[in-house]
Amino acid sequence: MHTVVIGGGIVGLASAHALAERGVEVTLCEKGSLGAGSTGRSAGGIRAQFSTPVNVALSLASLEVWDAFEERFGVDVAHRRVGYLFLAREEETAERLRENVAMQNELGVPSEFLDPAATAEHCGGLRSDRFAGASYSPTDGFADPDLAVEGYARAARGAGVELRTGTEVTGIRRDGGRVVGVELAGANGDGRIPADYVVNAAGPWARRIGRMAGVELPVAPRRRQMAVVEPERPVPESDPFTIDLDAGSYFRPEDGGAALVGGQWGEDPDADPDRYHEGMDPEQAAAAVERAGEWTTYFGPDSRIRRGWAGLYAVTPDNHPIIEETVPGLITAVGFSGHGFMHAPATGRLVAELACDGEASLVDIGSLGSGRFEKRGETERNVV
């Protein structure tokens, strides 16, 4: 069996590696360089605190890999389990967090609901009086996306995967109703590659790839920005990844007392993945730091923005991925809505199961098919 994986981000690399481990011949095609799309511009969060069981299941299956990554792949990805702290200003948001925690606990996640006073035990710089409640899990944290790409790429090559960078897929070939290969352009392109399966792991380019196969995927690129900030007060490296849900603001510790500050700012819902502005908007970054200073004591007028960047989320209407065999021979693993990095290990194994076994068994992905959007129409976004 030969499979072509389209996309050299973390999801594509994890899929290629998992397929190769199952004995599949794999060619991965990346139009740029490995990890140069959304993966290298992510915050690297890894958490199991989600509002739906399927996302929790994807997290738990992925955490098994993240926790043993250095042992398995020989690369230390700087996986820091400092926890995630979700903060709720509104009572309605706090109640949703309570419900989420109950569901997470049933699935084995050691999260807990906190009253405002208890939040200071986990984040000393928090203005606790701004909030109605919070949720926290000590097993959440973050890792270095670039190092994760290095580890997966090394393991994929070692398993026999052919990694073609600078190779753009310009078409998907079909014979009758089945996908049978891809057409190529670029420095390393040789015209076409036949395949038993093609995997769409193209992130923000997913809709474009789907259309090549005659499939319309509801995945939209959305631009987000973040900044590395030197705060007025150093942020302890033990602080959790902390998110003000109602304000759409977050920070997490960086080395040496710095912090990564981001949130729902500088968003562009119609971003072109080939032409969007990859730099940071200084005025928007300053506003984001000011917003973080409203609910923490770390960030004030003397905080200094060191640098920043923008990246793309590949977003679906309900913030859940599409993982399925969309048409015969085309496996889709896209639309993670900012969660692709953390869920890549489980996704790679699911892709391999779909190709090799004809069905997924690691996680029940029955709710992640693209047909859900046709059946449900407008869907409600999840709080977390």
The torsion of the CA quartet 123, 125, 126, 129, rounded to 10 degrees, works out to 130
Closest CA to 360 of 332, 327, 323: 323
> Residue length, the chain?
384
Residues 6+ apart with CB under 8 A from 242: 84, 85, 87, 123, 126, 250, 251, 252, 296
What structural domains does the chain harbor? Answer: 2-47+146-217+318-376 (3.50.50.60), 82-140+220-315 (3.30.9.10)
262 pLDDT more than 80: yes
The torsion of the CA quartet 74, 75, 81, 85, rounded to 10 degrees, works out to -140
376 pLDDT more than 80: no
Query: Does residue 252 contact residue 229 with C-beta atoms inside 8 Å?
Result: no
Rg (CA), the chain: 21
| pLDDT band at 30; cut points 50, 70, 90 | very high
Query: Does residue 39 contact residue 145 with C-beta atoms inside 8 Å?
Result: yes
- Return the pLDDT at 308: 95
Question: What average pLDDT score do residues 270-277 get?
Answer: 85
Query: Does residue 258 contact residue 235 with C-beta atoms inside 8 Å?
Result: yes
pLDDT in tens, 97-154: 999 999 999 999 999 999 999 999 999 999 999 999 999 999 999 999 999 999 999 9
- Return the pLDDT at 384: 65
188 pLDDT more than 60: no
What percentage of the chain reaches a pLDDT higher than 70? Answer: 94
| pLDDT band at 374; cut points 50, 70, 90 | confident
- Return the pLDDT at 191: 86
d(CA 360, CA 57): 13
- Least confident interval from 134-148, 187-201, 261-275: 261-275
Residues 6+ apart with CB under 8 A from 188: 164, 165, 166, 167
pLDDT in tens, 40-67: 999 999 999 999 999 999 999 999 999 9
pLDDT in tens, 315-342: 999 999 999 999 999 999 999 999 999 9
Order across the sheet with 192-194: list the strands.
Answer: 167-175, 178-186, 192-194
| pLDDT band at 186; cut points 50, 70, 90 | low
d(CA 172, CA 200): 10
Place of tokens 């890792």: 143
Instruction: Tell me the whole-structure pTM to 2 decimals.
Output: 0.94
pLDDT in tens, 219-232: 999 999 999 999 99
d(CA 88, CA 119): 11
Q: What is residue 148's three-state secondary structure?
A: helix
Q: What is residue 103's three-state secondary structure?
A: helix
d(CA 379, CA 28): 33
pLDDT in tens, 3-27: 999 999 999 999 999 999 999 999 9
d(CA 321, CA 339): 9
- Return the pLDDT at 364: 98
d(CA 226, CA 52): 26
